Amino acid sequence: MSGHINSIWEKDAPRVRFDALKGNKSTDVLIVGGGIAGVLCAYKLKNDGADCVLAEAAEICGGITGNTTAKITLQHGLIYDKMIKRFGVDKARLYAKAQAKAGEEYARLCGNIDCDYETRDSFVYSPDNRRKIEKEVAALKRLGVEAEFSDAGELPFAVAGAVRVRDQAQFHPLKFLFNIAKELPICEHTKVVELKPRKALTNRGEITYKKLIIASHFPLLNKHGLYPLKLYQHRSYVLALRGAQNVSGMYVDEADTGLSFRSYGELLLLGGGGHRTGKQGGAWNELEKFAEKHYKNFELIGKWATQDCMTLDDIPYIGQYSKSTPDVFVATGFNKWGMTNAMVAADILCHLVQGKPSPYAAVFSPSRTVLRPQLAVNAFESAAGLLTPSAPRCPHLGCALKYNRAEHTWDCPCHGSRFTESGELIDNPATDDKKL
């Protein structure tokens, strides 16, 4: 079984195709990366009458975006109590408001698009810590979000409690994105190989730009912004089950390694088995064992995996790439909540590249402090990866790759690049295949 297995979304969405760049081009705003964040940036800019071009190395939405569980919610684990302590009530409220606004934007856009959009309640549960849940409910209420304590009785096991936020949503991400991408100025199979000031060199020609948005999942530019230290990547796994007990809400464990549940039609999407990329984890095996224990006669319809960029403090990096690059912008580190955060990114960046202020920009600024405990962990993993002798090396920054038995891939524990057994690049930040 190869490391890239198609999600259910990829099976039934009518894909749209775009030509590669022909010759040289010039634009006001160049967007690099055709995942959900890049597509939404292009959509918003074009609707604002701005001149933009999106360059995608392969095909749009062919990477991480196609492997999401596609939950649209302002509930991103148990983050708000921590956020209030770390940043204060005002910043936490702005974060929640930005996410709620993103949810409203999806509701508005999906009103005219056939993309299986459904309103659902969202739950974050804890198997064994009722106090944590109570604190998060109180934190959300302080921020003006209607939240309540729930026993999450739909789940096939008992929990200590869950935070319930009503009227969130789920949808089919690719039906939505292929629909809004149709008329956009997109160049597929156009790989950016080098970024220079105001000019991107691609495998097809040059694109000159005034402003640049890097929306390539993990940022491409290593020279600025310390992203290899500010981010790490986390893998998680999904099974699509028919004949399992369905759920009407969207559920996620507050722990990184816990389980998530949502329905799609008659299917149950069971997520989990997560681990830092390049480390060992439960993967699909853990999910299959859970399904066998809790569901009697289920049928396995599909399985896939995804990878998320995680920041130091639970808030994405959206805004100016670094202090020294005023015309370069970034959207990364969505911490597993790419649906709303991509919409937030498109909103903020659409303002910033046009020289307009955004009320949310300060919360997500990539230049905020990096002095967080996770920084030491990332630095340690990078050092360990660099100092590991022999082993195949990652072409990104030279770390030793680790073999991923579940997916038959070579994964980088430092920054999360992944390669097939024969050395072809699957996930960035590396930009080249690995020489074997």
The band of 6, judged by pLDDT with boundaries at 50, 70 and 90, is confident
Q: Determine contact, residues 243/299, Cβ cutoff 8 Å.
A: yes
What backbone phi and psi angles, to 5 degrees, belong to 295?
Answer: -125, 130
The pLDDT assigned to 256 comes to: 86
Whichever domain contains 413, its CATH number is 2.102.10.10
Based on the fold, state whether residues 359 and 384 are members of the same structural domain: no
In a domain, 26, yes or no: yes
Whichever domain contains 226, its CATH number is 3.50.50.60
Domain that holds residue 402: 373-427
∠ at Cα 141 (140, 146), nearest 5°?
90
Quote the CA–CA distance of 123 and 381 in Å, as a whole number: 32
Based on the fold, state whether residues 383 and 414 are members of the same structural domain: yes
Quote the CA–CA distance of 84 and 88 in Å, as a whole number: 4
First to last CA, the chain: 20
> Three-state DSSP class for 197?
coil
Q: Determine contact, residues 373/65, Cβ cutoff 8 Å.
A: no
In a domain, 98, yes or no: no
Based on the fold, state whether residues 320 and 354 are members of the same structural domain: yes
The first and second tokens of residue 305, run together, are 């995996």
Residue closest to 105 by CA, chosen among 356, 344, 333, 354? 344
Encode pLDDT of 220-274 as tens digits.
Answer: 998 999 999 999 999 999 999 999 999 999 999 999 889 999 999 999 999 999 9
Residue closest to 190 by CA, chosen among 182, 200, 180, 198? 200
Please determine, for residue 3, whether its predicted confidence score (pLDDT) is greater than 80. no
Total number of domains constituting the chain: 2
H or E element in which residue 304 lies: strand 299-310
Task: Measure Cα distances from 219 to 102, 319, 414 in Å.
Answer: 23, 12, 14
Based on the fold, state whether residues 319 and 418 are members of the same structural domain: no
Q: Determine contact, residues 371/313, Cβ cutoff 8 Å.
A: no
In a domain, 343, yes or no: yes
In a domain, 402, yes or no: yes
Count other Cβ atoms within 10 Å, centred on residue 389.
Answer: 5
pTM: 0.97
| Over residues 318-328, mean pLDDT | 97
Based on the fold, state whether residues 377 and 335 are members of the same structural domain: no
Based on the fold, state whether residues 321 and 422 are members of the same structural domain: no
- Where would I find the beta strands (DSSP E) of 338-391? none
Quote the CA–CA distance of 286 and 297 in Å, as a whole number: 18
Based on the fold, state whether residues 319 and 225 are members of the same structural domain: yes
Question: What percent of the chain is modeled with pLDDT above 70?
Answer: 99
H or E element in which residue 175 lies: helix 173-181
Domain boundary among 364, 382, 402: 364
Domain boundary among 324, 342, 364: 364
What backbone phi and psi angles, to 5 degrees, belong to 205?
Answer: 150, -175
Count of residues making up the chain: 436
Q: Tell me 135's DSSP state.
A: H
In a domain, 168, yes or no: no
The first and second tokens of residue 256, run together, are 């990184």
Encode pLDDT of 97-111 as tens digits.
Answer: 999 999 999 999 999
| Over residues 107-128, mean pLDDT | 98
Q: Would the CA dihedral through 261, 263, 264, 270 be positive or negative?
A: positive
Encode pLDDT of 7-59 as tens digits.
Answer: 999 998 989 999 999 999 999 999 999 999 999 999 999 999 999 999 999 99
Count other Cβ atoms within 10 Å, centred on residue 129.
Answer: 16
Based on the fold, state whether residues 358 and 388 are members of the same structural domain: no
Question: How is the beta sheet containing 418-420 ordered, strand by strand?
Answer: 402-404, 409-411, 418-420, 425-427
Task: Find residue 306's DSSP bridge partners.
Answer: 236
In a domain, 356, yes or no: yes
Q: Determine contact, residues 136/163, Cβ cutoff 8 Å.
A: yes
What backbone phi and psi angles, to 5 degrees, belong to 174?
Answer: -80, -35
